[in-house]
Amino acid sequence: MTQTEPELSAEPDPRRWRALAVTLTAGFMVLLDVSIVNVALPSIQRDLGATAGGVQWVVSGYALTFGLVLVFGGRLGDALGRRRMFLIALTGFVLTSALAGAATTPELLIVARLLQGMAAGLITPQNTGLIQELFRGPERGRAFGLFGAVVGISTAVGPVLGGVILAVFGDPEGWRWVFLVNIPIGALALVLAARLLPKSSARLRGVASELDFLGAVLLGLAVVGVLFPILEIEQGNLGQVWWLFPLALLLGAAFVWWERRLVRLGRSPLLDLRLFSTVPGFASGATLGTVYFCAFTGIWLVFAVFFQQGLGFTPLESGLAVTPFAVGSAVSAIIAGRLIERWGRRLTVTGLSLVTGSLLAIAGLALLVPAAALGWAMVLPLLIGGIGSGMIISPNTTLTLEQVPTSMAGVAGGALQTGQRLGTAVGTAVLATVFHTAISATGADYPLSLTISMVCAALLTMIALGLGVAELRNRTLRVRTA
């Protein structure tokens, strides 16, 4: 696999920054919908008469189909053109948001969320692919810095915006606006994207015969085999679906065999596995991102339950309590994007160290500070954690993708995002289970349960830190050898 990129000699698109603003707006919407719905679940349950297990699938179903189509979405963007795929996927996201907002039964809402997750999974890899296509050198680092800020902010502010929407539109049907707000924003993004995104020379004729549909099915079923049991942990149904884990391993092995066979035959695979073996830093960066997302995204559900059930906060107050993390992450990600060229992997190692320290500090404060003052006591650790997180997500994305050929940028970005979605599902399920188990075992001692959960999150972050240190050493050796 060559890493020669003929596009490097082309003049940069003068509209690239405006195009980036449009794609990041759409990216913000789809990532926001991962967490914004959490605060609306009680309202949805009351209004539609859904069961607790059914309403959980409003969140879980979106995450499942989101992660399911990411790699295939990246391959479609590489083959059909990223502008074309972006417009198709964004149209689908707007329509499915309208369907979710108009749902009259729990079943219809779950179907709408499954379809909405698929559209989101098709949008996301076009974002990273377009950044690879439109930006070069230090500009690419700044662009990925903005992308990282979007990832960090959307995850952290979801509960805040959800609480604001519910406060403005009220119960019982205010939850519908959590979805309906996507319609005007998405429609405007569609108009601007059609004007600003660069047209590609990708052809439609003959592309279907080149797409690896069997690979997509094998990978999709393997992802379902991992995510579905994890999503069932909180419902206590793991004992019924545990067999999906070994089935997922078999399907994954079949996927690897099939992809390697296509390469030997000179055909286009869904995911060229040489990305992991020949592109320096891709495998380690993708693994680091997956592990970090286990810790990073898993803490928000724990915080939401702790503040609302443990301290009696409203959904809006609960969201505002974690705002320092979002603010620190946004500012840090933008600055980190400008420092990637100089600092490289040292940025992610420093960021992981800060996040680990902040989680351990919160764990200690939960035991030492009275519950009434704990919200204020956590402001500084959350701010420091946010600063650290901003130094992780965007630099890791940039460094992981920096040597990926532009022709494979979409599928590489999809693979990276799939790891993050898997990490999100695993981390949320694991930390939520740890937190609820601790509450039961300690007689509803919420501060102690928060401490246990934060220690678990810190341990996951330490694993990512170890991966970051190892990649920093390998990167230094590669530079010296070169």
Q: What is the largest CA-CA distance in the chain?
A: 66
Task: Give the predicted TM-score (pTM) of the model.
Answer: 0.79
Query: Which of helix, strand or coil describes residue 262?
Result: helix
Place of tokens 């004992």: 239
Distance CA 85, CA 198 (A): 12
Phi/psi of residue 317, nearest 5 degrees: -65, -40
Residues 6+ apart with CB under 8 A from 479: none
Distance CA 16, CA 185 (A): 20
Report residue 268 CA to chain centroid gap.
27
Distance CA 205, CA 30 (A): 30
pLDDT at 42: 75
Q: Give the E-state strand segments of 215-313 in sequence order.
A: none
Torsion (CA) 137, 141, 143, 149 in degrees, nearest 10: 180
Paired tokens of 160: 């805040």
Residues 6+ apart with CB under 8 A from 35: 154, 155, 158, 159, 162, 297, 300
- If we measure between CA atoms, which residue out of 195, 346, 255, 330 comes closest to residue 72? 255
Low-confidence spans in the chain with pLDDT less than 70: 1-10, 52-53, 152, 156, 171, 201-210, 231, 233-235, 407, 410, 482
pLDDT at 338: 77
pLDDT at 205: 54
Place of tokens 């419902």: 235
pLDDT at 277: 79
Paired tokens of 106: 């729990």
Paired tokens of 181: 């707000």
Distance CA 288, CA 465 (A): 8
Distance CA 293, CA 463 (A): 12
pLDDT tens digits, one per residue of 218-241: 888 887 888 778 767 666 777 788
The dihedral region occupied by 445, where left means phi > 0, alpha psi between -120 and 50, and beta the remainder, is: beta
Query: Which of helix, strand or coil describes residue 50?
Result: coil
Distance CA 258, CA 64 (A): 23
pLDDT tens digits, one per residue of 157-172: 787 788 888 888 876 7
Query: What is the DSSP secondary structure assignment for residue 402, as one 8-state letter?
Result: T
The length of the chain, given as a count of residues: 482
Residues 6+ apart with CB under 8 A from 59: 34, 37, 38, 41
Report residue 446 CA to chain centroid gap.
28
- If we measure between CA atoms, which residue out of 27, 103, 474, 481 comes closest to residue 285? 474
In angstroms, the Cα distances linking 464 to 22, 94, 286, 295, 468 are 32, 35, 11, 9, 6
Distance CA 416, CA 406 (A): 15
pLDDT at 447: 93
Contact 121, 70 (CB under 8 A): yes
pLDDT at 204: 55
Distance CA 36, CA 158 (A): 4
pLDDT at 180: 93
Query: Which of helix, strand or coil describes residue 81?
Result: coil
pLDDT at 209: 57
